[in-house]
Amino acid sequence: MIVAEGLGKTYSSGGRPLPVLRDVDLRIPAEAFVAILGPSGSGKTTLLGLLAGLDEPTTGRVRLDGVDHTALTEDERAEFRAQNVGFVFQTFHLLPTLTALENVLVPLELLGDRPPRELRERAAGLLDRVGLAGRLDHYPSQLSGGEQQRVALARAFANRPRILFADEPTGNLDQETGARVIELMEDLNREARTTLVLVTHDLALASRAHRIVTLADGRVVADDDVAGAGAPQVGARRVDHGSAVVPSREAG
C-alpha cells in the first residue's frame, strides 16, 4: 500500500521558486497496477521519485506499507528500497562494468542474507525466466536494448520487491521489443504479486494498467480505474489528456 498525502515539490530556479508538483493525494493498494500518465514536464517523474523515496518532498508525506518515508534518513530509505522496492528505468541503467548475471546479483547482495551459491542460482533463474539463459556472462555493451531491459527486469524482481517502480520502461525500445518487454513485466508482476507503478507518456502503454493517474502541470487532473488490464480503452472514459500526450515513439 502506497499513500501520498498533500505531496508537493518546489525547486528553486534562478532564485525563484518553481513548483513542479502540487498537493498530490494518492492511495495505491497492494498488488495494484497503476500508470502515471502525463506530458513531459507534468511532474510525473518527480512524483515517482518522491513515491520511491529517492527525493524528499517540500510538503506532505509518503507512506509505503505503513512506513513514513519522509521521516527516514537517506540510509534508512536505502535499506527500505533494498528490501521492498524494485526499479526499471527508461535507459535500463545496467552497471556497464558488470556482467548480466552480476547486475542481477546486485540487489541480492545488498541484502546479503543468503549464501552466494543460492543467490547465483536465483539470479540465473531470473535471467532464464526473461529468456537470457545463454547471456549470463555478457556485459551490457554486448547486449541489444531489449536484452538490456530484460536484464533490468530480472534485476528489478531479484529481491522479490513488494513495489516495482518503472520509469518509461519502453521509452528507449522499438515498438515490438517494447511490447514484449511490457508483457514480460506484466507476467512477472502477476507471478510475484507486486504493486506496479509505471510512469509513461505513452497512452497505449498506460492503458494496460488497472488505473491511470493523469498529471498536468504538477497536479493530478484525472484518476481513472481501467476495467481489465491489457485492454486499451483509449478515449472511453477519458478526461482530457490534452494534446501534449505524445504517442509512443517509433524508434528506428
Window 115 to 174, contacts with another protein (CB under 8 A): 155, 159, 167
Continuous H helices in 52-135? 74-84, 100-111, 116-129
Q: Please report how many Cα atoms fall inside a 13 Å half-sphere around the Cα of residue 251, on the Cβ side.
A: 12
What's the min distance (Å) between Cβ of 165 and another protein?
9
- Cell digits for 245? 500526450
Distance CA 249, CA 236 (A): 23
Q: Which of 146, 181, 176, 147 is nearest to 166 (CA)?
A: 181
**Which residue in the set 23, 31, 102, 186 belongs to the binding site for another protein (CB under 8 A)?**
102
Q: Closer to another protein at the Cβ: 120 or 219? A: 120
Asked whether 213 and 206 are in contact (CB, 8 A), the reply is no
Partners of 19 in beta bridges:
10
**Which residue in the set 17, 112, 115, 228 belongs to the binding site for another protein (CB under 8 A)?**
112
**Which residue in the set 95, 234, 244, 251 belongs to the binding site for another protein (CB under 8 A)?**
95
CA angle 112, 114, 115 (to 5 degrees): 110
Partners of 205 in beta bridges:
none
Q: Does 83 bind another protein (CB under 8 A)?
A: yes
Q: Does 75 bind another protein (CB under 8 A)?
A: yes
Mask for 34-73, x = binds another protein (CB under 8 A): -----------x--xx--x-xx------------------
What's the min distance (Å) between Cβ of 225 and another protein?
26
**Which residue in the set 72, 80, 129, 131 belongs to the binding site for another protein (CB under 8 A)?**
80
Q: Does 208 bind another protein (CB under 8 A)?
A: no
Q: Does 244 bind another protein (CB under 8 A)?
A: no
